[in-house]
Structure 1
């Protein structure tokens, strides 16, 4: 069975139990979070349900990435809606999961994402990257903003807050769930497996190499307002203490991506599978759909994407392999699984 038909089979079974039809259009607005107590401004987007139809246009697309259809600065539907905050992967940005944000908005969610300073596409300052403990704090700051000073605060149900994170965003999500950094355990893992990707990244970024930084990394970064978390093919499982993982109470939906395209896949035995095994069995749902690759959590690629990448960024071609119809089908499956999971929390 080829990859497309594997995906189609998965989607067919999930569509049968999909949470809700797409009743709304997607509203879209930019936002920023400024805090005078910290020099770490956050910029991103919020997607939300609207019944307006005028002004529908393509956003967050370019020659490589297909955009989404949304209405900029539309009026939000009256009512109170669940909130989902998204965290992108290493050197990603707030637009990486626009496809999921739009799908959720059409089903009655407010969705927000920011570009994390230091580890995003256009902001790679070494000092910000070193301070990985700020990533989960970014998410908490976004929640604070949306519940208080944002123009959407009256439209958000504070009892229905969720999040999802991809790759390094999955690491961020686990810290928010209560996973604690374990320097001794992680150093021992890297001594035994020095070639593991996460070991090289943390070393290059000088993560937790001073007593002060170690204290920040090992602190409790959890946010108890978050009622459920979706983790998309995370990296960094071995940075967390097994004891902290075993005590997590937040319900988790964990996706592992088994498809390894041009060596771009993560080792599931030390990442997603290991995470699922370490979590309380009553709190975790683990999915490992055949055909799912690490970069399928990014947006859909345009028909010309492969040719453009071969010409301009040949080392990055793998991000758009099977990035058209195959990825679109996977997005449907992922969105349905996420909305079903959040609806049951």
Structure 2
């Protein structure tokens, strides 16, 4: 079982105690100092789903720190409604991990930190660059006033939230969604099939200055590219992106899933190239 660190500034959602953050490290060879990439999984998944990407980055000399997000991961004993609804909590998990690693290790290069993620993990990384959720849309979604994308893991999410939280609780939570999770230590991000594009405030995306790479499959009917990957690509001024092709959907990016187009291998190579360029000597921070 991967080690668990805690964030004393936030409570856990399944009982008393501080917020747990399960951390998996992929160690590069050598003594360092090493660049660091944070890794964030998709909703309901686990960071091990992205082991193929972590392995490639570690082989390129990068320390990879993968997070299993509390309440939103198959690595937990049970899913929690807050983990699926309060998605703006996710980027804070990654910032806490940066704090932890810089405090406990002397082989991390604080000037070379990036983030990568899949699906909701792609949003998580974009939030670290400054993307913010529109609180009005967030409130409509978590109260059921606006439709939420189908969640096979949590088909009764809205009802469960209503059982555990008052209307005032949910209004307060939605206001928290508007807060910036920008972490200036994160110099760039690599987003794979990023999701929840319609929930993000357009102005906040337009203000991002750090490099953002986006990859997606045109056959993705989960995080539909027109509303997600292509929206980020259009609005974020520093974004660049490439489709993996008409035959690539959403789940080809998960370890163990069929990948007849070789999408994972191509994305891994692209991510290594992106972070090598981002961390190159003389590259100015945004």
The TM-score, its normalising length taken from structure 2, stands at: 0.81
Q: Kindly tell me: are residues 220 and 265 of structure 1, through their superposed partners in 2, closer, same or farther at Cα, counting changes over 3 Å?
A: closer
Aligned to 1:171: 123
Task: After TM superposition, give the deviation of residue 198 of structure 1 in Å.
Answer: 7.3
Q: Secondary structure at the match of 2:87?
A: coil
Q: CA deviation at 1:30?
A: 3.7
Q: Shift of the alpha carbon at 1:141?
A: 0.6
Pairing of 1:11-90 with structure 2 (within 5 A): 30-38=2-10, 39-50=18-29, 77-90=30-43
Q: 1:233 aligns with which of 188, 193, 197?
A: 193
What's 1:330 paired with?
263
Task: Indicate the residue corresponding to 1:252 in structure 2.
Answer: 212
Q: Given the alignment, which residue of 156, 159, 166 partners 2:111?
A: 159
1:132/1:185 Cα in 2 relative to 1: closer, same or farther (>3 Å)? closer
Matched-pair contact (CA < 8 Å) for 2:191–2:215: yes
Q: Secondary structure at the match of 1:99?
A: helix
Compared CA separation, residues 335 and 204, structure 1 to 2 (3 A): farther
What does residue 131 of structure 1 align with?
A: 86
Name the larger-Rg structure. Answer: 1
Counterparts of 2:55 and 2:5, CA distance in 1 = 21
Aligned residues: 258
1:143 aligns with 2:67: no
Please state how far the C-alpha of 1:156 moved relative to its aligned partner: 1.2
Structure 1 residue 205 displacement after superposition: 7.1
Partner in structure 1 of residue 276 of structure 2: 343
In structure 2, runs of 5+ residues without a counterpart are: 11-17, 279-286
Distance verdict in 2 for CA 1:205–1:99, change over 3 Å:
farther
Could you list the per-position Cα deviations for residues 152-191 of structure 1 after superposition, in whole angstroms to 9, with x for gaps in the alignment? x22211111011111111121121111111133567899x
2:284 aligns with: none
**1:5 alignment counterpart:** none
Higher mean C-alpha displacement, 229-238 vs 130-139: 130-139
Pair 1:277 & 2:226 matched: no
Q: Hey, what's the Cα distance between the residues in 1 that align with 2:28 and 2:66?
A: 16
Q: In structure 1, what is the Cα distance between the partners aligned to 2:114 and 2:242?
A: 18
- What is aligned with 1:289? 244
Structure-1-length-normalised TM-score: 0.68
Q: Is the 8 A contact 1:257 1:265 kept in 2?
A: no
The answer to whether the 8 A contact 2:136-2:174 is kept is no
For 1:89 and 1:197, the matched residues in 2 are separated by: 14
Q: Which runs of 5+ in 1 are unaligned?
A: 1-28, 51-76, 302-319
CA distance in 2, matches of 1:335, 1:196: 31
